[in-house]
Amino acid sequence: MVLSVQDITKHYATQLAVDHISFDIQEGSIFGLLGPNGAGKSTLLRMITGIFYPDGGSIFFNGKPFDASRDTINMGYMPEERGLYKKMKIGEQALYLAQLKGLSKAEAERKTKEWFVRLNMESWWNKKVEDLSKGMSQKLQFVTTVIHNPKLLILDEPFSGLDPVNADVLKEEIFRLAQEGTTIIFSTHRMEQVEEICDEIMLMNLGKNVLNGRMKQIKQDFKEHIFRMELSRPPEGNFPANMRILQEKDHTLVFQLDENANSNDILSYYIREGYTILSFEEILPSLNDIFIRIVQGTPNARVFTR
C-alpha cells in the first residue's frame, strides 16, 4: 500500500473542511479524486503532501506514518495553479527544480533532455516561461513534477490548456508511469477523463467521502437496467409488459426493464417475432450522471464503499 489515509479531519475556524476521510491507494494505480468546488479536495491534497497537518486521523506512506521531512522527496505534486518562475529560461528552470528534488547536475541535465525529447520540447530550452502558452506551461510543469521519478504523483487538472494532441501525449505518459509502478492521484472536473484514465475514484462533497470504489463496479452499482437494441426493421405491435420504451427511432429502441426482468427474454421475444437483432447493449450511467445524482442529493442515489 503506497498511501493509506485513515479518518483524517481538518478544520478552518468553525468549518470542517475534511470530515473523517479514509481510503487506500495501491502501487501503480490511478486514483481519481473528484468533487465540486469547495468539497475539500485541495485541503486533502495539501495534507497528503505535508503542506497542511491534519487535525485528526493518520496518513501512512509506504507502510509508515507519513513524515513530511522524509517522504515528500518521493512525491510529485502538480497543482492547478502554475508554480513556475516567469523570467527564467525553460531549460535553466527545469534543471534548477530537478536539483532541488535531489538530482545531481549531470543527472538533472540528462533526465531533463530525455523528457524534453519525449514531449517534443527540445526547441523550448532557451525560451522564457512568460513566452509560453498555457498548454506549453502545463507540459513544462508536468516535466518538473515527474523529473525525480516520484513514487506518488499528484496531478491537479493536468490537461488544463492542452490541445487534444498534447493531451493525448500527456495521457500516454501517465499510463506509462503507472505501468512502471508510479502511483497517481488524478484530480479533475472532467468526468470523461476520469472514466478513461482512473482505476478507482473517490467523490468528496462537503468534506465527506460520499462515493469510493473501482470505476467499473461503481457504474454497475448505479445502472438502471436501460438497454439499446437495433432491429432489422421498425418494431410493430405492442411491446412486452416489462419493457418501458424511453426512445424509439427508426429501427432502434431505447428501453428500461423492470429490475426482475431478464434481457434474454426480450431478445427471445423479438427473435420469435421474426426480427433480426442487429445490436444489443446495456447503457451504463456515465460518471457525470452519477456525480450529479450524488452531489445534488437525488433521493435514489446510493453510497458504496468497496
Give the pLDDT confidence of 138-161 residue by residue, as tens digits.
899 999 999 999 999 999 989 888
Q: Are 27 and 181 within 8 A, CB to CB?
A: yes
C-alpha separations of 90 from 28, 80, 112, 145 in Å = 30, 19, 10, 14
Handedness of CA 288, 289, 291, 296 (dihedral sign): positive
Segments making up each domain of the chain, as ranges: 3-219, 224-282
Q: Among the CATH numbers 3.40.50, 3.40.1000, 3.30.70, 1.10.3470, which is that of 224-282?
A: 3.30.70
Q: Which of 22, 4, 57 is nearest to 210 (CA)?
A: 22
Q: Are 160 and 138 within 8 A, CB to CB?
A: yes
Q: How would you classify the pairing of strands 183-187 and 30-34?
A: parallel
Stated pTM of the model = 0.84
Rounded Cα distance, 141 and 159, in Å: 11
Q: What is the pLDDT of residue 50?
A: 93
Q: What is the pLDDT of residue 298?
A: 44
Q: What is the pLDDT of residue 143?
A: 94
- pLDDT average per 10 residues of sequence, the chain (306 residues): 95 90 94 89 93 95 94 92 82 92 94 93 89 87 94 92 90 95 91 90 92 91 93 88 90 91 91 94 91 70 39
Domains 3-219 and 224-282 share a fold: no
Q: Among the CATH numbers 2.30.40.10, 1.10.287.610, 3.40.50.300, 3.30.1490.20, which is that of 3-219?
A: 3.40.50.300
Give the pLDDT confidence of 148-206 residue by residue, as tens digits.
999 999 999 898 888 899 999 999 999 999 999 999 999 988 888 888 899 999 999 88
